[in-house]
Amino acid sequence: MSATASTTAKPQESTAVRILKKPITATLLAIVLGFAVAAILLAVAGYDPIASFTALFEGIFAKPKYISNTIIKAAPIILTGISVAFAFKTGMFNIGAEGQYVAGTICALIAGTMLNLPMPLQIPVVILAGVAGGAIIGGITGFLKARFGIHEVITAIMLNWTMLYMNNFVVNSEMFHQPSSTSSIAINPSGFTTILPEWKLSDAGLETLRNIPWLYDFLVKTDVNIAFLVAVAVAVLIWFVLFRSKLGFELRAVGFNHDAAEFAGMPVERNTVLAMLIAGGISGLAGALMITGIQPHSLSTLAGFENYG
């Protein structure tokens, strides 16, 4: 090797440096630092950090029903998190995931109450209605950004509140209101995505599950549903779309450099709208799965956001 080549050769990174550069390392460090800061704050406030963290983990892992409830609560947060992350990768800040989530619940409720198809048809129709609701709200944000340059943060925040009041309008409408309550009527049972909803409460189901205490605790005492499995599948699908498809390359290119993407002949406006349509649809999916999967399978009057988005 010549002297010139040896001087210009890129020095090899050590194993430690390569490990530190991995995304999983940053995630783990963030978790550790989060617990460290929380421990300091608890100690300053006069609380025992060890006892506090013990109570936290016991509340998650001490019983099967606690694990089940954690999974149930995690599913919509994972989906709306994917929605925000997807939009971010395409150069958009989707602060409207909450409104898109609410839109998903509204559309899922309307479809689930007005239709009563056989379960294999009802569930996809109700879920697709929720996805469409979230996608429409996300698409509005993307369209206004692409066509008129209106910043997505402003539009999304306004639409969040619009959807909150739309939720309350639907709940209190004559068609959907549950008398003597602050809730809407429930969707038809054929749209439920709870795991084994009828069997686990039947005599045969209860007799079988009582012989398996942990499974009884996990299934019968909670509304465990398919949302978590769907969230994992969506995460894999979105990764594939973003990093293993032509569409994902174009969406990321537009987000990385709007002008360069336009110069390369990519449809920038279309991709901006499409990115928010997809992001909104994912948040709408979260809302639909909550309506179909969790009791009472209905909407409630909202005084504030549920903070899923």
Q: Is the pLDDT of residue 6 over 70?
A: no
- 250 is a domain residue: yes
Alpha-carbon span 182 to 56, nearest angstrom = 32
pLDDT for 4 beyond 70: no
Residue 114 resides in a domain: yes
What does the pLDDT look like over 131-144, one tens digit per residue?
A: 999 999 999 999 99
DSSP H helices in 14-63? 15-21, 23-44, 49-61
Position 155 in a domain: yes
Cross-strand bridge partners of residue 141: none
**Are 47 and 87 within one domain?**
no
For 286-300, give one letter per residue: b (16+ CB within 10 A) or e: bbbbbbbbbeebbbb
For residues 277 and 291, give the distance between their C-alpha atoms in angstroms, rounded to a whole number: 21
* Same domain for 149 and 219: yes
The confidence band for 8, taking pLDDT boundaries of 50, 70 and 90, is low
Same-domain check for residues 228 and 266: yes
Angle, in degrees to the nearest 10, between helices 23-44 and 49-61: 120
44 occurs within a structural domain: yes
What average pLDDT score do residues 25-38 get?
91
Within a domain: 306? no
**Residue 20 pLDDT exceeds 90:** no
* DSSP state string for 63-85: SHHHHHHHHHHHHHHHHHHHHHH
Number of domains in the chain: 2
233 with 181, same domain? yes
Which of 52-66, 124-138, 186-200 has the largest mean confidence?
Answer: 124-138
Is 4 contained in some domain?
Answer: no
Residues 38 and 92 in one domain: no
Asked if pLDDT for residue 11 goes beyond 80, the answer is no
Residues 58 and 129 in one domain: no
CA angle, corner 125, sides to 182 and 128, nearest 5? 85
Q: Mean pLDDT, the chain, as a whole number?
A: 92
Angle (CA) 211 290 302, round 5° = 130
Same domain, 242 and 279: yes
Residue 262 has a pLDDT of 83
Residues 70 and 49 grouped into a single domain: no
Q: Is the pTM of this model over 0.85?
A: yes
Task: Say if 31 falls within a structural domain.
Answer: yes
Mean pLDDT of 262-280: 92
- Residues 18 and 55 both lie in one domain: yes
- The residues, ordered by sequence, that sit 6+ positions from 187 with a Cβ below 8 Å of its Cβ are 108, 109, 111, 112, 113, 126, 291, 292, 297, 298
Do residue 157 and residue 73 come from a single domain?
Answer: yes
Written as one letter, the residue type at 70 is T
Q: Which domain holds residue 15?
A: 10-62
Per mean pLDDT, which range of 33-47, 90-104, 162-176, 198-212 is the poorest? 198-212
Q: Are residues 78 and 197 in the same domain?
A: yes
Cα–Cα dist 283/101, whole Å = 5
- pLDDT more than 70, % of the chain: 96
Q: How far from the centroid of its chain's Cα atoms is residue 158's Cα?
A: 20
239 and 270 inside one domain: yes
2 domain residue, yes or no: no
- Provide the pLDDT for residue 26: 85
Contact between 226 and 72 under an 8 Å Cβ cutoff? The reply is: no
